Amino acid sequence: MTRMSPAAATTAFLTVNGVSVPLGDSATPHTTTLDWLRDRGLTGSKEGCAEGECGACAVMVARAGTDGTATEWVAVNSCLVPVAALDGQEVVTVEGLGAPDRLHPVQQELADRGGSQCGYCTPGFVCSMAAEFYRAGRTAAGPEHASEPDVTADHEHGPNGFDLAALSGNLCRCTGYRPIRDAAYALGLPEESDPFAKRRLSAPTPARPTRLVADGAEFVRPSTLAETVQLLADHPDAVVLAGSTDVGVELNLKGSRPPLLVAVDRLPELRDLRVADDEVRIGAALTLTEIERGLGGRVPLLARLFPQFASPLIRNGATLGGNVGTASPIGDCAPALLALDASLVLSGPGGERVVALADYFTGYRESIRQPGELIREVRVPLPLSALVAFHKVAKRRFDDISSVAVAFALDVVDGTVTRARIGLGGVAATPIRALRTEAALEGARWTPETVTAAASVLATEGTPLSDHRASDRYRSAMLGQSLHRLYAEQGTISRVAP
């Protein structure tokens, strides 16, 4: 790989609050967007946790919408994303939304309804709320929403169409959430003259090749998949970067400083989504938010998974390829994909190969992926099983790491289990299939007696350990209980016609 001089870094830039700003000589491949912004006086964004849990650092980024032709405003954690990864992109901070004498509607409602106390978390809430404010398709249930913020369409949606889950990645320790919710539900729709609303009608800013060299390290965004895999083959120590929801934590909390970061999140070859007659193909670099919207519920097990995966701020960056590629035993996607009998397409300098996900993991954070190989695509075979569910056991409902994750995909025909696939996370060194439980279910009548017997088998699957999240006994108990829960809730959980 040809090295470039540090002076080349000055060609990279961001459009921040409508102004083009060069990255400058101080930016390195490891500089986060948050630190870069604050160094330039945009201190509204705060660092609370440095791992994507509190949302105090949230900013808005302009990205391609689902159809690829329009633009949408997406909220992300700026503490996780290297600033070089946003080269050429548009970023809006809380300072860019409004001014003291001209508040943005979100800022005005938060001020009017007491949605801020110490104010530390407020800028992040503002950016997350603004992204939802501008979400395409958000419609008000009626004109009464402005005067009756306590009246909601359902438990988590306001009469103005505001999805309260949009704020599930933002934490507040002093104000309390009621006035913040009231402010969210009091928002109207953007005016036609609103510049951020008008921006949605224009084409998104295309990604461009990037190379930043500084501080003994290098950030590279290749143009093509072929260039990428060759780069990875030439540099086995390179770290692949997509949404940076995992790498960003390593940079911030563990002081990781990889010599080479290779960004793959905008590679066209990794961003395709197709639903054919025999399978669903999901590009490895699509964000979970993009996949959820693109599938529109056509894979119900994934539709059950996504709302339980961290928070919208994380899902707006996290990818299937990244979550599976880390080979973490507690990644939420792997159990669901195991239950779906998914396979991976691995691309390398020598071509492509397709491997079953069940054969991908070889040990703790280890896999069969060879140097230079990259996960290009995830394939889910069709037809789908009829009875599916995803159970996540964690200490918080949202924005938490699983203690145990269980994914079910069963076919029950005329009262008999004809096929069973069960994926488990958090109970072994790798995500695993509950093979013995599957064998106990297949061919048996779908009755309470069968469930009780199979649940006792499920409780013995894996090799759970005790840690700060849960004890080994608790994890085993939750495994068995999960099958009882599936049976009890089968009338209300996702079903697919066999």
Q: Is the pLDDT of residue 267 over 50?
A: yes
Q: Give the predicted TM-score (pTM) of the model.
A: 0.93
* CA–CA gap between residue 220 and residue 230 (Å, rounded): 13
Start-end of CATH 3.30.465.10 domains in the chain: 273-381
Q: Is the pLDDT of residue 395 over 90?
A: no
* CA–CA gap between residue 169 and residue 165 (Å, rounded): 8
Work out the pLDDT band at 143, boundaries 50, 70, 90.
very low
For the segment(s) 1-205, the CATH number from 3.30.565.10, 3.30.70.100, 3.40.190.10, 3.10.20.30 is 3.10.20.30
Start-end of CATH 3.30.390.50 domains in the chain: 387-489
| pLDDT of res. 492 | 58
| pLDDT of res. 397 | 76
Q: Mean pLDDT, the chain, as a whole number?
A: 92
Poorest-pLDDT segment among 3-7, 125-129, 344-348, 449-453: 3-7
Mean pLDDT value across residues 90-112: 96
pLDDT in tens, 294-353: 999 999 999 999 999 999 999 999 999 999 999 999 999 999 999 999 999 999 999 999
CA angle (384 as vertex; 378, 385 as ends), nearest 5 = 125
| pLDDT of res. 141 | 62
| pLDDT of res. 493 | 54
- Residue percentage of the chain with pLDDT more than 90: 87
Looking at the DSSP bridge assignments, the partners of residue 22 are 13
Query: Under a CB-based contact definition with an 8 Å cutoff, are residues 425 and 431 in contact?
Result: yes
CATH architecture observed for domain 273-381:
2-Layer Sandwich (3.30)
| pLDDT of res. 137 | 87
| pLDDT of res. 148 | 47
Start-end of CATH 3.10.20.30 domains in the chain: 1-205
Mean pLDDT value across residues 204-210: 91
Mean pLDDT value across residues 9-29: 88
* CA–CA gap between residue 422 and residue 459 (Å, rounded): 13
Residue with tokens 């929801």: 245
Q: Is the pLDDT of residue 400 over 90?
A: no
Regarding beta strands 374-381 and 343-348, do their DSSP bridges make them parallel or antiparallel, or are they unpaired? antiparallel
CATH architecture observed for domain 387-489:
2-Layer Sandwich (3.30)
